[in-house]
Amino acid sequence: EAGVFTYDPGFTSTAACDSAITYIDGGEGVLLHRGYTIGELAEKSHYLEVCYLLLYGELPTAAQMEDFESRVTNHTMIHEQMHKFFSGFRRDAHPMAIMVAVVGAMSAFYHDSIDISDPWQREVATIRLIAKMPTIAAAAYKYTIGQPMVYPRNDLDYASNFLRMCFSVPAEEYDVNPILARAMDRIFTLHADHEQNASTSTVRLASSSGANPFACIAAGIACLWGPAHGGANQACLEMLREIGTVDRIPEYIARAKDKNDPFRLMGFGHRVYKNIDPRATVLKQSADEVLELLGVENNPTLQVAKELEKAALADPYFAEKKLFPNVDFYSGIILEAMGFPTSMFTPIFALSRTIGWISQWKEMIEDPALKIGRPRQLYTGEHQRAYTNVEDRK
Ligand code: SDX
């Protein structure tokens, strides 16, 4: 029966849901989006085309792509009043805190796309979320560094627009390097969707109550923030910096193997992949390209990362536990080389994953049979018992 599996003898539970969007074979390290491998999409496609594919199930014709790109481009600005939200935060607020709040607040601004029973309003909400996430993420970043927000431009592609909104200042225009824009776009593509991960399941569960899409995506952003999930890219880079030099790698490998030490190698391991995460393979190539372009191929963090990967993969413990580098292992190194602070790594993951969340939201809304039911539990608490008055308690 679809959707039901047994993972403990005698204990059955329903899988999160059926879905036709993304397929992962954790044992073989395979990731497909609507049947296309992530490797081919990262090499031959681009993020907005992958957005179209995830949403509608097929690669677009040239005319369909032009129309889709035009609709997204023309919705990249946020409501002028939304700018006021940012100034309500302390300057040292984490950009993820700002994104959770501002995306949730979109429900208060875009009433004309809240009736989720109306396909056209669902489409409007979808386009608005894809279009505005880079603007919101960039504005959150600018706010935390005390610089003025930069408005999007319609003559730039999606990734270039985001880079410019992050790094342009009134005093000096930021000329987007096409190789960096391509690397940025590839990072967006590699994080676009990933089956029923924690944040996507959060979005589906929130959506199953009929909550509006902006509130559901805000719930996904909140879940992604955790260091075991989307927060791992920030935690990974901070770990690599803490290791600092290649000679300290054995100490951290030993800690990761020590059951009494809660330390885990950030950027390693995965709930599903028990072989290489195919996204890490693409990102590793991208890291070399970007760092060479920026003339920082001798970046000490990258050297530590490469030696750490080598040491971990050569260690029988990690082979036995099937722990390989995941998508977060190299993404942080590229983003740092581009000039992003670690606090922006997870917001970029959230920006990228919005299409996965909203595609799976759309799939579920359009086929109620795919709704996640109300999860049940195995009760392990006290049996029914009578109330005792305080004077009788020991
Ligand atoms: C993402 O679900 C998705 O698809 C998520 C994601 C997506 O695109 O949405 O792919 C994005 O979240 C990637 C994962 C990013 N997280 C990290 O890099 C954080 C470090 N990784 C771990 O916290 C951990 O690997 C998890 C949470 C990702 C998976 O945890 P599990 O399910 O416990 O890992 P496992 O079952 O494969 O572990 C097997 C063993 C365990 O030891 P035993 O209990 O068998 O003795 O390996 C150990 C774990 O303790 N282990 C690690 C480890 N990860 C697992 N030991 C050291 N370092 C690690 N990183």
Rounded to whole angstroms, how far apart are CA atoms 92 and 143? 9
Active site residue 328: yes
Question: Which ligand 1 atom lies nearest to the CA of residue 329?
Answer: 18
| 371 C-alpha to ligand 1 centroid (Å) | 27
Cβ–ligand 1 distance for 229 under 6 Å, the answer yes
Which DSSP state fits 315?
S
Rounded to whole angstroms, how far apart are CA atoms 294 and 301? 14
| 228 C-alpha to ligand 1 centroid (Å) | 7
Least confident of 25-29, 164-168, 247-251, 352-356: 25-29
Cβ–ligand 1 distance for 302 under 6 Å, the answer no
- Summarize pLDDT for 93-105 with one digit per residue, the tens: 999 999 999 999 9
- Residue 30 CB neighbour total at 10 angstroms: 15
User: What pLDDT band is residue 54 in, cutting at 50, 70 and 90?
Assistant: very high
How many Å separate Cα 311 from the centre of its chain? 27
Average pLDDT of span 321-349: 92
Can you tell me whether residue 260 is helix, strand or coil?
coil
User: What pLDDT band is residue 349 in, cutting at 50, 70 and 90?
Assistant: very high
Of 302 and 166, the structure prediction assigns the larger pLDDT to: 166
Strands 30-33 and 36-37, sheet pairing: antiparallel
Residues linked to residue 32 through DSSP beta bridges, in sequence order: 23, 37
Of 384 and 7, the structure prediction assigns the larger pLDDT to: 384
Average pLDDT of span 260-269: 92
Judge whether 53 and 34 are in contact, CB under 8 Å: yes
185 has pLDDT over 50:
yes
Q: Ligand 1: which of 23, 193, 270 to mutate, most ligand atoms within 8 Å of CB?
A: 270
Residues linked to residue 5 through DSSP beta bridges, in sequence order: 13
13 has pLDDT over 70:
no
Sheet strand arrangement including 22-25: 22-25, 30-33, 36-37
Q: Ligand 1: which of 313, 323, 355 to mutate, most ligand atoms within 8 Å of CB?
A: 323
Tell me which residue has its CA closest to atom 27 in ligand 1: 228
Least confident of 4-13, 106-115, 218-227, 337-346: 4-13
Average pLDDT of span 299-318: 90
Q: Kindly list the distances between the CA atom of residue 338 and the CA atoms of 182, 201, 293, 392, in Å, as whole numbers in the listed order.
A: 12, 31, 10, 66
Cβ–ligand 1 distance for 271 under 6 Å, the answer yes
Active site residue 111: no
4 has pLDDT over 60:
no
Cβ–ligand 1 distance for 202 under 6 Å, the answer no
Selection from 104, 101, 76, 89 nearest residue 144 by Cα: 89
7 has pLDDT over 50:
no
- The token duo for 189 is 């593509």
ipTM reported for the complex, 2 dp? 0.89
9 has pLDDT over 70:
no
Select which of 46, 191, 270, 277 is catalytic. 270
Cβ–ligand 1 distance for 279 under 6 Å, the answer no
Cβ–ligand 1 distance for 364 under 6 Å, the answer no
Average pLDDT, whole number, for the chain? 91
Select which of 157, 185, 193, 328 is catalytic. 328
Cβ–ligand 1 distance for 323 under 6 Å, the answer yes
Length of the chain: 394
Tell me which residue has its CA closest to atom 24 in ligand 1: 269
Q: Kindly list the distances between the CA atom of residue 138 and the CA atoms of 170, 249, 334, 346, in Å, as whole numbers in the listed order.
A: 15, 34, 17, 12
Least confident of 2-6, 323-327, 340-344, 360-364: 2-6
Q: Ligand 1: which of 22, 271, 357 to mutate, most ligand atoms within 8 Å of CB?
A: 271
Cβ–ligand 1 distance for 326 under 6 Å, the answer yes
